[in-house]
Structure 1
Amino acid sequence: MEEYKYSDKEIQNEKHLSVLNVPVEIPIKELENQINAKIKGLIYDDNSYEDDNNDNLKAKVWKISPIRVVAIDSSFLFEVPLKIWVSAGYKVSPLGITMSGYKDTEFSIKIRLISKIGISSNWQLKSDTYVDSYDWITEPNIKVAGINIPIKSMASRLLNKNFDKITEAIDDQVANNVELKKNAELAWNIARQPVMLAKEYDTWLVVVPTGIVMTPLLAKNNILRSVIGIQGYTQTITSATKPVVPAVYKLPDLKIVDKVVEEFKVGLISLVSYEDAARLATTKLAGENFAFLGGKYNVQVNNVEMYGQNDRLVIKAGLTGSIEGSIYLKGVPYYDPDTRRLSLKGLDYDLDTKNSIVRTAGWLLQGQFSRMMERKMVFPVGDQINEAKKTIQSALNNYKVTDGVILKGTLSDITPDKVYLTPKHLYSVVFAHGKVNLRVDGTKGF
C-alpha cells in the first residue's frame, strides 16, 4: 500500500533554524557631534545664595568648547570643558573693620568623565557616568581689601555637589542618541521580506524571525561595534508570486551574548519523480541476466515501478525467466554526499514477497538478488543540488533588498538532511551552510 507522511508543499515549506547577522557600527565622531549638538550653552544655574548647604554661593556653568569623546572597549571617556561663574558672599575684618558683601569671579575647568555602557533587555542603552578627575584651566580668585577669599575650596565643593547634574545630562544624551531599538526593528522587518533567489525557478528565500541576540557594544579604531543576530527559520519556497509575509510581530526582548553564531542554513532541494526513477532503473537493468546456483536459474527484470510507503521506497520489479511475475522490495532512500547520488539502504524483500519466494523459489534468496538490485538503484541528483547552490550564491553576492539595504552572504559546506517521500516525488534535501549579513547603510546607528 502507498502511504506518505509528507506532501510536496510541506517539503518546500520545511524550516531550518538560522541566524542572520546585522553588523552595527557607530562612529564615535558621530556620537560626539550629536552630544555636542544637544549639550551646549548653559548647563547649570544656581541663582540663590541660600541652600541646604548654606554655601553662600551663586553659580552658573557653561560648556565653552566641544566635548571630546574617546571610546575604549565598553567605556567612554568624556572631556568636558566648562566656564563657571561664581558670586560669593564674603565677610572680612581687616584692622578690626568688618566688611561684607558679594564678589563675582569666573574660572574654567576641564572635567574627565568615564561612562560604562550597557544595553537592557528592552533595548534601552544604559550608561553609568562618573567624574574621574578635573583640572583647573583658570582658577577662581577674589580679593577684598588685599585679602584673598578662599573661593577655590568653596568652588570645589560647589562642583562636587553638582557633578551629578552634568553626568545625568551625559547619560541622557548617550541613551537618546544611540537608537538601537529603532534600527533593530528596521532590520527585523526587512529580514522578513521574501528574497527572490532564482526567477527562472520561482524560488524565494523567506526568513521567519523568532528571536534576537546582540554582542556587547565595544569600541575599536574610533568605531563602536556590535553584531545583532536575528534568529529565525529559513524557508526555500517555490511560488510564482511573492510569498505573503505574516503579520508584523513585536520586537522580542534582547539577549546579550558573547558571540553571535554565524550559522545560516538554506535548504537545497532536488527532486525525482517516481516515474523518472523507475524509467531510469528499467533502462539500467534492461537486458541484464541474473544467474543463480551456477546458472541453473536465471531471471531478467523487464519493468520497474516505484512508490512510497512512509519512509521506505517500494520497488515493484517485473521478472521473467525461471520465475514469472512481480516481486516487491523495500529500502530507505538517502543522499550520499560522496557520490552525490540518491541511493537505497537495506533494500530487502517485502514480507509477503519473501514468504512467497521461500515456498516457490528459495534460490532467489540465496543469490543475494536484493543486494544486486540495491547497487543498481542509484540516481544522480548532484547536478541539481550544485545548480541550486550556485543560483542562491549568485543571488547572495550583493542582493539589494531596498535602497540602502544589502543582503550579502556566502554558502560553503553542504550536509545532507534526509530524503522525503511524497505522493509524487522523492525529495533529496541538503543544507547549504554559510554566513549571511544584512547591512543597513545611511541609517543612524548602523
Structure 2
Amino acid sequence: MYEKDYFIAICNYNIWMCQYGKKIEALKPEPSNNAPVAFESATSFINMPVTIALADVEGQLNKAFPGLMYEDNNVEDDKIAMKVWKTAPIRLNEENGRLISVVPVKINAKVKYGTSAMGIDMYDTREFDLNAIVTFKSNVGLVNWKLNTETQIENLEWQESPTVTIAGKKVMITYVINPAIKLFKSKIETRLDQALSKAVDFKPQVLDALEKLSAPMLTSPQYEAWFALNPQELYVTDAKLGKNQVTMNMGLKCSMQTTIGQQPKSSFNRNAIVLKPVKEMPDKLNVVVAAVSTYESASKVLTKNFQGKEFSSGSRKVTVQKVDLWQKDNKMIIALDMTGSINGTIYLTGYPNYNAVTKEIYFDQMDYVLDTKSVLMRTANWLAEGMVLKKIQESCRYSIKPNLEEGRNNLLPYLKNYSPMPGIFINGKLGELDFEKVQLTNNAIIAFIKTSGTMDVKVDGMK
C-alpha cells in the first residue's frame, strides 16, 4: 500500500512539473551602495545687467555728505578762511550721458581786507554768511567695482552778491570770494568724486547675489535632487549713464551642477571673484536637468510592459508576472518572476541607455547574471538562447517623458522673476532637451538631460 501511494505521488509530481514547469532557484545579486551622483555641465555664461537708479545714488551721496563739505581755518595765507555746508539734499540728474549734481551750500567766510603802507598794516577782518547753488558735472566710468567720476564745478550761482558793510556802505567783495572759490574748487571736486565712488560700490550687492545663487537649491524633495551654480569668473562692460540710471552689463562664467542625494556644499568664495573688463558679453546658458525615475516606479512600468506576453521556444513558454529593478556595481539588475515551463525568478543585467527619439530608457548589453545563466544551462537551455533574450530585452524599456517634464518644471520657478534677496531678480528660458548620460543611484535611475537657453540676473538698486 505504501509503495502504491508513493508511486501515485511521484506521478502527480511529474504531472505538476509537466503542467507548471520546472522550479529554478538562481542566486539573487544583492544591490550595492553608491555615493551620491553629481554631474557638472559644460561652461555657462549668465547675463547680469546691473541697474542703479540715480535716486538711489542720490540717497547714498547725501549720507556721505551729512553737512560740512569743506573747511579752511587759516586766514593769514590767502586772507580768507572758509567753511562750506550743504544746506539741502544734493540733487542728481543726467544730461547727455553726464552726471549733474546740484548742491545748495552755505558759506561762512572770514575775510581780511585793507592795505599796508609805510610799514603800517591797516587791515580789518569781517565774518559773513553767504548762500549759493553749486552745479557739478561729472563724466562717469567704472573702476574696480565702483563708479568712477571726473567732476568739475560747472556753475556757482550766488543767492546774493558777496558784500561787507564799511562805514555804513555795502562794499562788493566778489573779487575776494571768487579767488577763494578757486582754492577750494579742486578739493571739493575730489571730495565729491570720492563720495560718489563710495556711494556706488556695487560689489557687496553682486557678491551677495552670487552667494545666494551658489547655495544648492532643492528642486525635488521626493528624489533629493539638488541644483547648484558654481561661479568661476565675472565680466563687466563700462558703466553708462542714461534715463536717470547707471547701467552696466555683467556676465558670470560658471558651471552648473545637478546632484542626487545629500545636500552638496556651496563652493562659493567671495575673495576669489575678480571683475574682468570686456567689450562684449558672452551669453549662453547650459543647464542639466535630472530626470529621476525610481526603481519602484520603473518596475511597475516594466511589469505592465510584460502583461499578456509569452516568450516561447517550440512548445516551451514562459510568462513574466513581475519585474523588479536595482543596481549593482553600476549595472542594472532586472529580476523577472516567471511562470510556465519555468517557475521562479531569473536575473538579468544591463547598462541603462536613452533613446532620444522615443524618450525611453532601455538596457544595452543585456545578459543573464552569471549564476542565472549557469542554472538555465542545466535546467532550461532553451531560455538561455539569444532569440528569447532579445524578445525579453525589447520589453525592458519605458518612457521617461513625464520625468523629463518634471525635471524641467522643477527648474522653471527659478527662472520666472525669482528673487532670492531684495533687489535681485532672475529670469530665463530653456530650449530643447538633449541627452547627456544615465547614472544609477541606490534608489533611482537618473537620466541627465542638457538644455541650453538664456538667463538674466538683474541687480536692481542699492538696497
Query: Which TM bucket (shorter chain)?
Result: 0.5 to 0.7
Structure 1 residue 166, shift from structure 2 partner: 0.9
| Corresponding residue number in structure 1 for 2:430 | 412
SS at match of 1:133: strand
Q: Distance between the aligned counterparts of 1:72 and 1:415, measured in 2? A: 49
Map 1:19-418 onto structure 2 (within 5 A).
24-51=50-77, 55-71=78-94, 76-84=99-107, 85=109, 87-91=111-115, 100-102=122-124, 106=130, 108=132, 110-120=134-144, 123=145, 125-131=146-152, 133-137=154-158, 140=162, 152=175, 155-199=177-221, 201-207=222-228, 209-211=230-232, 213=234, 215-216=236-237, 217-226=239-248, 229=252, 231=254, 233-238=256-261, 243=263, 246=265, 250-256=269-275, 258=278, 259=281, 261=283, 263=285, 264-270=287-293, 286-287=309-310, 333-343=352-362, 378-393=397-412, 397=416, 404=422, 409-410=427-428, 412-413=430-431, 414-418=433-437
Relative distance call for 1:376 and 1:71 in structure 2 (3 A) is farther
Structure 1 residue 109, shift from structure 2 partner: 5.6
5+ residue gaps, structure 2, are 1-28, 337-346, 374-384
CA contact (8 A) 1:397 1:409 kept: yes
Q: Distance between the aligned counterparts of 2:89 and 2:116, measured in 1? A: 39
Relative distance call for 1:265 and 1:248 in structure 2 (3 A) is closer
Q: Which amino acid aligns with 2:74?
A: S
Q: Distance between the aligned counterparts of 2:140 and 2:84, measured in 1? A: 25
CA contact (8 A) 1:412 1:433 kept: yes
Q: Distance between the aligned counterparts of 2:170 and 2:425, measured in 1? A: 72
Q: Distance between the aligned counterparts of 2:92 and 2:66, measured in 1? A: 15
Aligned residue-pair number: 411
CA contact (8 A) 2:435 2:450 kept: yes
Relative distance call for 1:190 and 1:421 in structure 2 (3 A) is closer
Q: Distance between the aligned counterparts of 2:443 and 2:224, measured in 1? A: 19
CA contact (8 A) 1:267 1:432 kept: no
When normalised by structure 1's length, the TM-score is: 0.64
Structure 1 residue 400, shift from structure 2 partner: 7.2
Relative distance call for 1:190 and 1:308 in structure 2 (3 A) is closer
Q: Distance between the aligned counterparts of 2:125 and 2:172, measured in 1? A: 10
SS at match of 1:59: strand
Are 1:430 and 2:453 matched, yes or no?
no
Q: Distance between the aligned counterparts of 1:305 and 1:43, measured in 2? A: 79
| Corresponding residue number in structure 2 for 1:445 | 462
Q: Distance between the aligned counterparts of 2:353 and 2:453, measured in 1? A: 23
Q: Distance between the aligned counterparts of 1:48 and 1:65, measured in 2? A: 27
Structure 1 residue 131, shift from structure 2 partner: 1.0
SS at match of 1:14: strand
SS at match of 2:113: strand
Q: Which amino acid aligns with 2:409?
A: K
Q: Distance between the aligned counterparts of 2:44 and 2:73, measured in 1? A: 60
CA contact (8 A) 1:332 1:344 kept: yes
Q: Distance between the aligned counterparts of 1:147 and 1:394, measured in 2? A: 73
Give the root-mean-square deviation of aligned CA atoms. 5.7
CA contact (8 A) 1:305 1:315 kept: yes
5+ residue gaps, structure 1, are 291-296, 318-327, 354-363
Q: Which amino acid aligns with 1:56?
A: K
Identity of aligned residues (%): 17
Structure 1 residue 198, shift from structure 2 partner: 3.9
| Corresponding residue number in structure 1 for 2:10 | none
Structure 1 residue 412, shift from structure 2 partner: 2.2
CA contact (8 A) 1:189 1:248 kept: no
Q: Which amino acid aligns with 1:234?
A: Q
Which is higher, the Rg of structure 1 or of structure 2? 2
SS at match of 2:270: coil
CA contact (8 A) 2:162 2:172 kept: no
Q: Distance between the aligned counterparts of 1:43 and 1:309, measured in 2? A: 74
Q: Identify the range of structure 1 (27-36 vs 393-402) with the bigger mean alpha-carbon deviation.
A: 393-402
